[in-house]
Structures are given as C-alpha cells and as structure tokens.
Amino acid sequence: MINVYKPEGMLSSNIQNRELTSNRAGLEKAMAMGAILEGTVVLCDSDMNLHVDLHGITGIIPRSEVVYSKNGEDIKDIAIITRVGKPVCFKVMGIAEQDGKTVALLSRREAQIECLRNYISDLIPGDIIQAKVTHLENFGAFVDIGCGIVSLLTVDCISVSRISHPKDRLFCGMQLYTVVKNIDESNGRIFVSMRELLGTWEENANLYSPGQTVAGIIRSIESYGVFVELMPNLAGLAELRDDFRLSDQSPLTSSSGKKSAFCDENLIGRFAAVYIKSIIPERMKIKLVLIDSYKGEHAQSKLKYFIDCENVTHIDSWQYSPEYSGKKIETVF
C-alpha cells in the first residue's frame, strides 16, 4: 500500500480508511500493510492516553506515541488534550484482547515519522502542498501539512492585501493550498506562504472594470482615504462623497480627507460597496469611491487560486507586479 500523507481530517471519509477501521480484520490488515489510518479521538484518560473511535473497538494511542519530537523533547499536555474531538492519523502497532474487549494499540508518532521520511523531507521551496489551519495567532497561522506535522504561515505571507490578524482571512479547520517558502534545516521547520497562489496584480485587476460598483472589505483607514480590499491580492484607495453615510447613519469622513469623530478602528473589517473610478496598471492603482458600508457575518474573503494547484506541484518564482510597472514585487524560491 502507498500511503497518502495528507493533513489530518482529509482521510476520514476515504472508503479504504472506513473499511480498514470498521472491524478487527480490517485493523489486522492495516497493520500488515503498514497503512496510515485516521480516526476521531473521543477521550484523553488520566494517564494522558488518547482513545480513538474505531467502530466498537477501543483504539489507544499511549502518551509517548501521540507526537513525534525530533529532539526528543517532552510532550506538553496541551498538545495531547487538544486532540480530543478531532481526527488523528495513526498506524496500528498491535491488537489484543483485554477484559473481553478488543484493544488496538496505535501510534500517531510512527505515522508522523513515515510522513517526514517519505514526504516532507523531499519538499523544496516552491513546492505547492495542501494544508489545514490548526491554530491562529497574531503573527500567523499554524497549518498541518501532513499527518499533524505543523508549519507556520506568517501573516504577511497570507495575502498581498494587508490584514491585522489571520482570522480576517482564515479559520481553524480551513483547508487550503500553500507553497513552501523556506526550510530551516537546523531544526526541520518548514515555513509556507499562500499569497503567491492568489494571483498577480494584473490577474486580479482584470476581473474589474471602471464604472462598476462592487463589494469589498475595509482594511485600513487613513487621513487621505480608505483602503478597500477587492480580492485577497488586490486593494484600492477609496475617496468619499460629501453626503456619505454608514448604514447605521454615522458619518465617516468627507471628500476633503478629514476624519469625523465616527471614523474609528471598529470600521475595519466591515463590508463596503465601492464604485470603481479608474484602474491604472502602470502604477498598480485602483481608485474607488466608497458608496456604502455595512456589517456582514464575517470579514473573510473567499479564496480564489490563480494556479491549478491540483495539477501544478511547483513554481520557481512569482512576480506580482506587471512588467510595465515601475515597481517590482516578486518572490523567488
């Protein structure tokens, strides 16, 4: 069997995974094959062992087998208990009868070691890989890039359009594509990026035309205008009509550029309707007029990949700026 090294949670619905975890015969077959399987953790006992739901059979991942540590560091309790209620990968190491019940001894650590050896160790900068968001911090998002092995996606690499926090774009459990940015060989850490997959300035700008009124998200407010995100990799500067009003009837500012008392940081993240006044490719500028602002259920943009990530597995470089622009913005892997 050839194992597929995916972020945890992406094998659970696989037909073969369901078949091999549904009974003892399937688990024995998986052990003989060396298969990496997935199941949901239903309990962490007082000895910090994880119990996995295997359709009537008790699966146990001992504390020492929950996480692989390259440097042999002790596993923190938080790294164990936060697995409860979530899918985890594992290899079947043994099956026995205890007190009249079938118990399967599992190892997530062994699955991670195999993933590192057969997949992650072969990655190079520029490789396009799947990932799953596991945790959000001010500085970035931690993402699972295979069998629960975590990589860091820093906030500046999420998109070209600036966001104040990863939650403005991502959410825990979100599946996405990333590109390997660099690898720290000394400690085995991999850093990934996402903005290189979300299109160049020109690719994004070609989706719009002057004269259109479109939806965007307010990302920052300056004395000279409001930056409105149209796409994760495209933002424009909006001026304001003198009679502009927010949906709650609170004035924001006037076309003179002076902020009113109501212009505060609470407006950042709100949706906006903007009129596209002009598009200037050589300056990578889009001039907008802010028509209206309103509250939405969330302020996350839907991701649109401009690369066929299912079939393109590597890029050597990416240039965001147009060739005719005086400013060059690029990534070389």
pLDDT at 18 over 90: yes
Mention every residue, 6+ apart, whose C-beta is less than 8 A from residue 241. 255, 289, 290, 291
pLDDT at 179: 98
Domain count, the chain: 3
Average pLDDT over residues 284-308: 81
Specify if 3 maps to a domain: no
Q: Which of 197, 218, 243 is the last residue of a domain?
A: 197
Q: How confident is the model at residue 299 (pLDDT cuts 50, 70, 90)?
A: very low
Q: Where are the beta strands (DSSP E) in 185-268?
A: 189-193, 213-222, 225-231, 234-240
Q: DSSP letter for 64, please.
A: G
Supply the pLDDT for residue 297. Answer: 54
Give domain status of residue 148, yes or no. Answer: yes
For range 186-193, the mean pLDDT = 88
Q: Higher-confidence residue: 251 or 304?
A: 304
Between 3-17, 85-99, 299-313, the lowest mean confidence (pLDDT) is in 299-313
- For residues 247 and 319, which has the higher predicted lDDT (pLDDT)? 319
% of the chain exceeding 70 in pLDDT:
89
Domain for residue 45, yes or no?
yes
Number of Cβ atoms within 10 Å of the Cβ of 173: 10
Residues 191, 220 share a domain: no
pLDDT at position 302 = 67
* Mean pLDDT along residues 243-256: 47
Q: Which of 71, 97, 116 is the last residue of a domain?
A: 116
What pLDDT does residue 254 have? 44
pLDDT at 333 over 70: yes
Same domain membership, residue 208 and residue 193:
no
User: What's the pTM value of the predicted model, to 2 decimals?
Assistant: 0.87
What confidence tier does 27 reach under pLDDT thresholds 50, 70, 90?
very high
- Summarize pLDDT for 197-211 with one digit per residue, the tens: 999 999 999 999 999
Does 319 map to a domain?
no
**Are 286 and 212 found together in one domain?**
yes
Q: Do residues 287 and 280 lie in contact, with contact meaning Cβ atoms separated by under 8 Å? A: yes
Three-class SS of 113-168: HHHHHHCHHHCCCCEEEEEEEEEEECCEEEEEEECCEEEEEEHHHCCCCCCCCHHH
Whether residue 138 sits in one domain with residue 106 = no
The average pLDDT across 265-290 equals 90
Measured torsion, CA atoms of residues 68, 72, 74, 75, in degrees rounded to the nearest 10: -10
Residue 155 and residue 207 in contact, taking contact as beta carbons nearer than 8 Å: no
What the block records as the tokens of 9 is 């949670």
**Greater model confidence, 302 or 112:** 112
The answer on 81 and 101 residing in a single domain is yes
Lowest mean pLDDT among 81-90, 213-222, 266-275, 318-327: 266-275
Tell whether the model's pLDDT for residue 147 goes beyond 60: yes
Whether pLDDT at 171 is above 50: yes
Domain membership of residue 260 as a residue range = 202-294
Mean pLDDT over each residue of the chain, to the nearest integer: 89
60: in domain: yes
| 2 or 78, which is more confident | 78
Q: Are residues 193 and 216 in the same domain?
A: no
CATH number at 181 reads: 2.40.50.140
Within this chain, do residues 193 and 207 fall inside the same structural domain, yes or no?
A: no
> What pLDDT score was predicted for residue 265?
57
Asked if 44 and 68 sit in the same domain, the reply is: yes
Would residue 177 count as lying in a domain?
A: yes
253 pLDDT higher than 80: no
* Whole-angstrom distance, CA of residue 141 vs CA of residue 257: 35
Q: Examine the domain organization and report whether 57 and 111 are in the same domain.
A: yes
* Per-residue model confidence as pLDDT tens digits over 104-146: 999 999 999 999 999 999 999 999 999 999 999 999 999 999 9
My answer on whether 193 and 234 are in the same domain is: no
Q: Is residue 286 part of a domain?
A: yes
Residue 75 CB partners (closer than 8 Å, separation 6+): 63, 64, 66, 67, 69
Q: Which of 76, 91, 116 is the last residue in one of the domains?
A: 116
